[in-house]
Amino acid sequence: MQLSDGDLVVASIELDKTSFWVASAYMAHDKYVPPDGFRTLAEEAAFKNKPLVASCDANAHNLMWGSTNTNARGESLLDFILGNKLSVLNLGSEPTFITKSREEVLDITLASE
C-alpha cells in the first residue's frame, strides 16, 4: 500500500526487532483537516498495530497544543486525534509560525499510544 502523497511522506523504520512508521504531513489551510491521506495513514497504522510518529504542519489552532486560541480546524483535528488514540507531543507554547504581525503554534507532533 502506498501511503505517501504530495502532502504526506511516510517511512518505515526498523531497529533490531522494533518497527514503526514516521511521517511528515502538510495540512493545507484551505482543505479539510485532516486530509484523506493522513486519515488513511492513521487507520492503516492502527489496523496493522504499527506505532506511528507524525510531524504535522497542521495549520490549525487549538489550546491543546499551545495555540493562542482554538478554531474550527483545531476542533476537527483534535476530534480526529482523540478518536484515533493519538497523542499530541507538543509541550509549552513556543510559536512554530512567526511573521512580522503574529506568532502561533500551528505545527504539532503526534504519536500513537
Cα distances from 113 to residues 10, 53, 96, 98, 102, in angstroms, run 18, 10, 24, 30, 33
Question: Cis ω on the peptide bond leading into residue 34 (within 30° of 0)?
Answer: yes
pLDDT tens across 33-78, in order? 999 999 999 999 999 999 999 999 999 999 999 999 999 999 999 9
Return the CATH fold of 8-112. Answer: Deoxyribonuclease I; Chain A (3.60.10)
Whole-angstrom Cα distance, residue 25 to residue 70? 20
97: confidence class by pLDDT, cuts 50, 70, 90:
confident
Q: Is the pLDDT of residue 1 over 70?
A: no
9: confidence class by pLDDT, cuts 50, 70, 90:
very high
pLDDT value of residue 113: 83
* Residue ranges of domains in the chain: 8-112
Average pLDDT value over all residues in the chain = 93
pLDDT value of residue 64: 94
Global confidence as pTM: 0.90
